[in-house]
Structure 1
Amino acid sequence: MLRILLLLAASLLLLSGCGIDADQDVLCRRLIPAFESDPITDAWTRMDAEDRRVVRIDYRTGGEAHWIACRYAGAATEAGRTVLEAVATDRTGWLPPMRFAMLEQWIRIKPPRHDAAPAAAIVRSPPTAWTPWLFLLQQVINAATVACVYGLLALGYTLVYAILGQINLAMGELTMVGAMLTAMAAAGLGMAGWADWPPALLGVLVLVMGFTAAQGWAMDRLVFRRLRKTRSHTPLIVAVGLSVAYQEGVRLLHGARDWWPAPVLADRHDLIGDGAFTVTALSSQLAILALTGGLYALLWGIMQRTPFGRAHRACTDDVAAAELVGVDVNRTVAITFAIGGGLAAVAGAVIALYYGGVNFFTGYLIGFKALAAAVVGGIGSVPGAMLGGALLGLVETFWSAYFVIAYKDIVAFGLLTLFLIYRPQGLLGQPRGRGD
């Protein structure tokens, strides 16, 4: 354990830089007047969660919230970082080749406007001694949202593994399904004028959770229950097959294009600043934190104070013994898969409404990272899943902010490798045998 803590300390000391590339930010902001005639206010820049070549700017004009996304040939510090490849807006989606070519011609002949959130808006005064610490605090706030996504999905992995000793690799695809359904529902709410109405958003979340919970239940009832006594790698192979089937099914039904829902709860709150840098938080970030905390507390209460929770703990200790004393193992496992599917849907909804850019492949890498978070925290441990998600979110966000973004995933999975070598049971997991 001491060795792991020393390795963690060494890793965090390394995280001490490049955030959003200023040149990419300025170039993307220069494109906004091509789509807007009114002055731009409250512009805020972020990078896409999955493709770090994409810079997205949320802004307000004429009292309405809009966004523009620019994809470059390379991420920050990489070759091609200022070569624009594609542009999308909340009104048009990704521009077709002809419109994009016309936009490139427009930017060559159009001088930059001073009301389009120019580069001066990024740094308003010389840095002070507090600026690095404020930037650090901003990364902690940004990491909290990422940690919520990983933590929620890691809970689904850990609940299933705790009771079966098997990893359902198709859980990431339930996140993708949740993200796609949320994106489509958000588009419908936008057309109805209810995009920022909290009860409507909550209703969408409940419906999506119900759908993916039913998908999780069906996975167990139709597939994994039949393989429960199998002592080979067949369940793992079947899970990979389910993952591919979900990906291809969604691709054939909805195509391979990205969905970019309009941002919701995008009001920005300035927390603290020194003139050179201001720490901000969005209403959506606060809502995500509150939602994740509430769901975790609800799950903890279910696991500790309900008959299902007692049955789950009994099956976790020894499935055969639990069955002998009258526990309905099949029902307990099915509910566990349903809960995992519902939590995966919440993670997908966060990805869709906060990050955007969801497609049929969204759940693949997210699923593996959430599995890494579950292993780091101690797969089988509910608190460990949230701890692992928080740790992975911090490492990813800090690395993206201070170092070359291209190596972010290498660092994340390198951390997983260290834990598998030196502490396979994770931070909060306990080495134990399983009774079948």
Structure 2
Amino acid sequence: MLFEILSSLVAGGIAATTYFKQHGTGDDKTKIERIAANAGLVSKDGKQIRIYRRMKGDGFTEYVFQIPLGLSFADFEKKKHVFEDGLNIKRSTLDISLADLKSITLRSNPIPQIKSLLQNKRKQNKEIEMSFDGMLKIRVYERTMPELLPFDEAMLSKCQGWEIPIGVSRSGFVTHDFDTIPHMIVAGATRKGKSAFLKLLVASLIARRSDDVRFTILDLKGGLAFVKFKDARQVVTVAKNAWEALEALRAVRDEMNRRLEHFLGAGIEDVKSAGVKERHFIIVDEAAQIASAGETDKEIKRIKVECEHILSEIARVAGALGYRLIFCTQYATADTLPRQIKQNADAKLCFRLQTEVASQVVLGEGETDAAHLPLIPGRSVYMTDRKNIVQCAYVTNDDINRLIGPHINIRPRKEEKKIEKSNREGTASRSYSLIISET
């Protein structure tokens, strides 16, 4: 009896090994080495990467390689998508645990059981992360990141100060602190998650810092994306075109200059030293609509040039004064992302972009990750002093209504008509008086 069991176990093991080699994961170390060679990641004298260590972690295997002299980590990082595609050359890998194998009984032929297990098991694509600390580290994950991360109000309780929830990375929950890094660039192609993130940002700050936050929103795609927020008492204005944008930005600049003069006169270094609790967020979505390059109408070009100038000034000097710029675009080019703004926005959240060039415009030279993100809404590259792949939290309309509902202030119809008339006539009757509280 014992002999029969052992014989079946050996036969089953051989069969499983054979089947896995034909249909399953294969040897990732060997694949990585072959991919590197085929991708031209070989030194001039023909030396290839050499395995130094392999380590099994929680849900991943980490391979540590020595890079040949003459090659850099950047050379490998640029080919990250090539490695990821190569490791998935069988189209999918199979998530097989020890418990799954234990479920195979030896009383009957194990081969049909193995085939059934492999056919019925949920298939997953492998994902990798690369890092460098003198050695090339490639982590191959057994499980993919979630494709949808529903917003949960418990996320807000994990935030402190001027933090907002972003989502989850491989290493855990991710937040962004706007008092540490005041300005952010957000980019991404249509329907990849940019607008959803902006709604999450506004709703989170209204819910968490309702008495201290204000918004000037330039929704240059017609105003529909932020229509739910226009009556929130924290929202100063939602500008829908270049003319309204200029009016709103001039008001911000005037207030900013008054605050700067006050700080200089009082010898105050920044908003924290002054004890000012309020933060004013200026959100620009879509930046291409106020890009002056290529504009042929002289008057409109003048308006757009002034908008660009004010936004660059906010990026340069307004962080210390309590102003936060969120600059967003679908079309990442040198024209739509001014150099002054890019240099002073130390946080980037970049969803899927169509080209490697666009990814480099947003993230920096050699940074092509945003062009190779999976086609999953909400998947993004979050970059500050380090880079993470993040699945952003998705906030629904019901979530937004619940978070901002107590702060909605519906204007009387007479006031709405007066504002509409003022906009049509181009007068200055719309008020943008901004109160500066120094207590």
Q: Larger % of helix: which? A: 1
TM range (shorter): under 0.3
Q: Which has the larger Rg?
A: 2
Where relative contact order (Cα < 8 A, 6+ residues apart) is larger, the structure is 1
